[in-house]
Amino acid sequence: MVLGISTVVSFLCSIVKFTYNLFFGKVYINPTDFEEGWFGRGPRPKNDDKPTQAKQTDGNSDHRDSHLPSDTQTTSRCGRKIKQPLKVFPLLITHGWPGTFYEFYKMTPLLITPRPDQNFVFEVVCPSIPGYGFSESPCQKEWKLCFNAIAAARIFRNLMNRLGHTRFFVQGGDWGSFISTILAKYYTQRILGVHVNMLSGMPKSWDLVKATLVAYFPSLIPAAEYKAFYPFLEKVKLLIAESGYFHLQSTKPDTIGCALADSPVGLAAYILEKYSTWTDKENHSSSDGNLTKKFTLDELLTMIMIYWVNNNFTASARFYKENIGNTTPEKRPLSVPSGIALFPKELLMLPRWLISRSVTNLVSYTVMPRGGHFAAFEEPQLMAEDIWNFVSLVQKNRNY
């Protein structure tokens, strides 16, 4: 796609005057908020240092030489210092919608930096789901074929094969959690462990009965979990209020896709509303949606521009339609070591007593003190810490 400079400038200038309806109020972004950023004007023509941190060199050398840590861990035994090589665990992290690989740029350094109290470190792989970011959009000529989460999991398995990783850990939220759990269910021998910060399931009649009982007898579950899931009716109302986009993208993705592909401000409004409400539903009562409470404007506009310059919003929306009715993965048990991070503002999550029925090897279930749907983007320190703890437990139990 060839993007005219005038289009980009128009987009960025229009954002300054951006106003969108959010529930019952309006959100205004003050033009003075942009003084610290650079959006086509001003004296900041410098290179963005975030992408270059992961830049690989060209050549015929083994790809792993360019980004595997060469650090050793120093321990003390009988007064002597002994250097022990660190184990390197590949970790495949998958984003969701409306996210991209950029969600993890703050968390990744926390995972690839060795810790003095651990004998391992991570090699992080953050690919874009096909149709998202800079990945090519899926193209199927036969209408019976679809590109769903199972197909994405198969592609990511092949990707890890190409990188030389026969066994690895997986992590994800939103669609990333679906893809990660599918990898764990379909390729059990390949996955060392799965860690997710969103998990759904198919509740049965008894589950609804127990959910009702807990409403009247809160002591049946831990207090932190009760606070995250109750009042039950309020959670149901929130899910219904936030499901409009889901219905639209699951039935008419090309319709909304054409509209937003033609309007950069419309695309920004559609996506930024999610970064406001899904971070905390209480943000709808704020005059500016609290958009910059957890994110900087540079971060938000970077996320939007990744969608805009690649013109792949429609492809990302189609992913919803392609997955509707695909309940096959839900019927398979999750038997690999599993870790769950429950962030209190997450829209879709299951309590521990419901998860334990379908997850047969639950290693950790952490109720976080804060955070919402974009957990790694909002709270990189909390997320990284939980991943470290989870893998540490798995390593000790499995003697990896």
Residues known to be catalytic: 174, 320, 373
Phi, psi of 281 (to 5 degrees): -60, -25
* Residue positions counted in the chain: 400
Provide the total of helices (H) and of strands (E) in the chain, helices listed first.
Answer: 17, 10
Task: Kindly give, in sequence order, each residue whose CB lies less than 8 Å from that of residue 395, ignoring residues fewer than 6 positions away.
Answer: 87, 120
What spatial distance separates the first Cα and last Cα of the chain, rounded to whole Å?
46
Residue 69 CB neighbour total at 10 angstroms: 15
359/333 Cα distance (integer angstroms):
6
Output 269-274 pairs: Cβ under 8 A, ≥24 positions apart: 269/18, 269/20, 270/98, 270/245, 271/98, 271/303, 271/304, 271/307, 272/20, 272/300, 272/304, 273/20, 273/22, 274/98, 274/245, 274/373
53/106 Cα distance (integer angstroms):
11
Give the residue from 360, 376, 364 showing the smallest Cα distance to 340: 364
Which residues in 380-394 are b (16+ Cβ under 10 Å) and which e?
Answer: bebbbebbbbbbbeb
SS3 20: strand
134/130 Cα distance (integer angstroms):
8
